[in-house]
Chains A and B, each alone.
Chain A
Amino acid sequence: MAIEVRIPTILRTYTGGEKAVPADGATLSALIDDLEGNHPGIKDRLIDIKDGKDELRRFVNVYVNDEDVRFIGGLEAVLSDGDQVVVLPAVAGG
Chain B
Amino acid sequence: MLTIDQTTYDGIVAHAKRDHPDEACGIVAGPEGSDRAERLVEMVNAAGSPTFYEFDSTDLFQLYKDMDARDEEPIVVYHSHTATEAYPSVTDIALASEPGAHYVLVSTREHGNNDGPVEFKSYRIVDGVVTEEEVVVVPELARI
Q: Which of B47, B96, B97, B98 has the most CB of A within 10 A?
A: B97
Structural contact, A9 and B61, CB atoms closer than 8 A: no
Residues in B whose Cβ lies below 8 Å from that of A61 = 57, 60-61
Structural contact, A91 and B61, CB atoms closer than 8 A: no
Contact with A along B80-101 (1 / 0, CB 8 A): 0000000011111001111110
The answer to whether the Cβ of B77 comes within 8 Å of any Cβ in the partner chain is yes
A89 to B94: give the CA distance in the assembly, Å: 12
Within 8 A of B (CB), among A50-92: 59, 61, 63, 66, 68, 70, 86, 88-92
A8 to B63: give the CA distance in the assembly, Å: 13
Structural contact, A63 and B61, CB atoms closer than 8 A: yes
Interface residues contributed by chain A, number (CB under 8 Å): 17
Residues in B whose Cβ lies below 8 Å from that of A68 = 57-58, 61
- Smallest Cβ-Cβ distance to B92: which chain A residue: A93
The answer to whether the Cβ of A94 comes within 8 Å of any Cβ in the partner chain is yes
Structural contact, B97 and A10, CB atoms closer than 8 A: yes
Known A9-B99, A10-B97, A59-B95: A93·B57 in contact at CB below 8 Å:
no
A92 to B60: give the CA distance in the assembly, Å: 11
- Smallest Cβ-Cβ distance to A69: which chain B residue: B57
Residues in A whose Cβ lies below 8 Å from that of B25 = 91
Structural contact, B64 and A90, CB atoms closer than 8 A: no
A: which residues have CB within 8 A of B?
Answer: 8-10, 59, 61, 63, 66, 68, 70, 86, 88-94
